[in-house]
Amino acid sequence: MSVSKRVDENDIVPGTDSKSGLGFFSATAVVVGEVIGVGIFLTPAGMAKSLGSPALLATVWLATGASAIAGALCFGSLAARYPESGGGYVYLRRIYGPLPAFLYGWMSLLVIDGGVAAALASGFSSQISYIFTLSQISRRAVAVGVIFILSIVNFMGTRFGVNFVRALTILKLGALAFLAVWGFGLGLGDWSNFVPFAERRPGSPPLAGALVGGLIAAFFSFGGWWDLGKLTGETRDPERTVPRALVAGVSIITIVYITISTVFLYLVSIANVTSDKNFAAQAGEALFGRSGGVVFSLIVVASVLGSLAAMMTTAPRVYVAMARDGLFFATAGRVHPKTGAPFVAGGIQAIAASILVVSGSFDQILAYFIVPMLVFLGLIVAGVYVVKPNRDGAAGTRIPGYPATPIVFLAPLAALFPMLLLDDPVRGSIGLGVVAAGIPAYYLMFRRSRTAIAVEPGTTA
């Protein structure tokens, strides 16, 4: 397989602003669908227990949501400036040159995309197992099966795949709204659980450590909103649609997280929270009685399936963009002649995820790459200072509150980086080392084969 062969333009998913492109609601559904997964059913418990105050819990969600919205505004500006499919890879390529972009794709290909898909698929099969009592082998078979079923859905075309994601997102939001209405409407909880509202409960851990842990949990609960940029080139009027969808999606996620956390605290007092899983089980039992576990599992199944479907729709576009630029094997850039789906890149992702599911090592592997992922996110958002937002350019390239807005996202990111690295220096160093190992791969295999893609003045192509 030659890496020097230029990719034919007909093999690449074309950018489009035609009526067939994804609209605002579909793009917003991708953001919401990918981010809201199983985490919201687990993280509020640990956060509430350590923070010891409903007011602090709401404050952490709001602060994290504000930071994510600031990041979304920056990503939206970059998407408007570079309306191509590929997301963070494209922005890194255009701003800093091919090597950082290749390293981002290298990390995504080797670990992140397959690892996240494997984790979500395994979470899906665990919930199915709770309902039907599956063996370990059967759970892994279900996880691999759902990966390939969603791959087939995506092979049927971007629009079909995103419509599927949109339907799952509507189902997911409907189920979460049902939880809120059912819990509050039937008076199944106790408002005294919120008293005292601001004062921390006796026995709560030290505030500084609790805030750090809460912010870390909240940050990762918001993870994935940036992946919409990978579909920019297949979005209708991307200069306007992508920035608006990013901000709308993150705003919806913030509201949902605060609402569901409120429902759970209404159902289960902070004093009765003993563990994340027990908390979710208690909430389910309070909502639905003895059958609560099954009903709750069905809601989690719908939530996780939507996240997995959205992730598997967006991720292959990175490999396609890399192939377009000559930074990956040309074959990966091929699309189906009728549906336009990136079937080779999608197949690569499905195989990688399935291998990780079978090996059962995805959780540990993903832990190694949290720190490198923060580095790339920081580089991308900091890139708006390099290119500077257009004042009179394409719609969406201006960033409200600039130059302060990127700092609202970068400051907590900069605080998280040393905390995570110091908490587990071995894993963090290994993750950074694996990413750095992509440097010789780039120079040995792809440096001479890359196509000439323009970068911003001051960078090196």
Q: Which sequence spans correspond to the domains of the chain?
A: 20-446
Residue 131 pLDDT: 81
DSSP codes of every residue in 177-208: HHHHHHHHHTT-S-GGGG-SSSSPPTTPPPHH
Distance CA 98, CA 81 (A): 18
Q: Can you read off the two tokens belonging to residue 371?
A: 């720190």
**Burial classification of residue 127, based on how many CB atoms lie within 10 Å of its CB (0-12 exposed, 13-18 middle, 19 or more buried):** buried
Do residues 69 and 227 make contact, with C-beta atoms less than 8 angstroms apart?
no
**Which stretches of 64-151 are assigned E, i.e. beta strand?**
none
Length of the chain: 461
Residue 58 pLDDT: 93
Checking if the pLDDT of 282 tops 90, the result is no
Residue 175 pLDDT: 87
| Mean pLDDT, range 444-448, rounded to an integer | 73
pLDDT grade for 42, boundaries at 50, 70 and 90: confident
Q: Which of 122-126, 222-226, 443-447, 449-453 is predicted least confidently?
A: 449-453
Q: Can you read off the two tokens belonging to residue 418?
A: 């040393």
Checking if the pLDDT of 16 tops 90, the result is no
Q: Is the peptide bond before 403 cis (omega within 30 degrees of 0)?
A: yes
3-state SS of the chain: helix, strand, coil percent to 5? Answer: 75, 0, 25
Q: Which of 281-285, 330-334, 380-384 is predicted least confidently?
A: 281-285
Q: Can you read off the two tokens belonging to residue 440?
A: 């010789």
Checking if the pLDDT of 346 tops 80, the result is yes
End-to-end Cα separation, the chain, in angstroms: 25
Query: How many helices and strands, by DSSP H and E, does the chain display?
Result: 19, 0
What is the dotted CATH code of the domain comprising 20-446?
1.20.1740.10
Q: 84 phi and psi, to 5 degrees? A: -125, 155
Q: Can you read off the two tokens belonging to residue 69?
A: 């919205």
Do residues 61 and 214 make contact, with C-beta atoms less than 8 angstroms apart?
no
| Mean pLDDT, range 14-37, rounded to an integer | 77
- b/e 61-85 (16+ beta carbons within 10 angstroms → b): bebbbebbbbbbbbbbbbbbbbbbb
Q: What is the mean pLDDT of the chain?
A: 83
Give tens-digit pLDDT for 147-185. Answer: 999 999 888 887 888 889 999 999 999 988 988 898 888
Compute CA distances 146 → 130, 176, 340, 343, 385, whole Å: 17, 23, 22, 17, 41
Residue 417 pLDDT: 84
Q: Can you read off the two tokens belonging to residue 109?
A: 């290909």
3-class secondary-structure state, position 22: strand
Q: 22 phi and psi, to 5 degrees? A: -70, 135
3-class secondary-structure state, position 143: helix
Taking only Cα atoms into account, the Rg of the chain, rounded to an integer number of angstroms, comes to 22
Q: Can you read off the two tokens belonging to residue 206?
A: 């030290």
Q: Which of 80-94, 263-277, 368-382 is predicted least confidently?
A: 263-277
| Tally of CB atoms within 10 A around 10 | 9
Checking if the pLDDT of 451 tops 60, the result is no
| Tally of CB atoms within 10 A around 24 | 16
Contacts of 236 (CB under 8 A, 6+ apart): 16, 17, 18, 19, 20, 21, 22, 23
Do residues 437 and 103 make contact, with C-beta atoms less than 8 angstroms apart?
no
Above pLDDT 90, what percent of the chain? 28
pLDDT grade for 270, boundaries at 50, 70 and 90: confident
pLDDT grade for 11, boundaries at 50, 70 and 90: very low
Residue 348 pLDDT: 87
Do residues 115 and 357 make contact, with C-beta atoms less than 8 angstroms apart?
no
Please report how many Cα atoms fall inside a 13 Å half-sphere around the Cα of residue 166, on the Cβ side: 13
Residue 454 pLDDT: 52
Residue 144 pLDDT: 93
| Mean pLDDT, range 395-420, rounded to an integer | 86
Give tens-digit pLDDT for 45-102. Answer: 888 888 988 999 999 999 999 999 999 999 999 999 999 889 999 999 999 999 999 9
Q: Which helix (H) or strand (E) holds 330?
A: none
Q: What pTM was estimated for this model as a whole?
A: 0.86
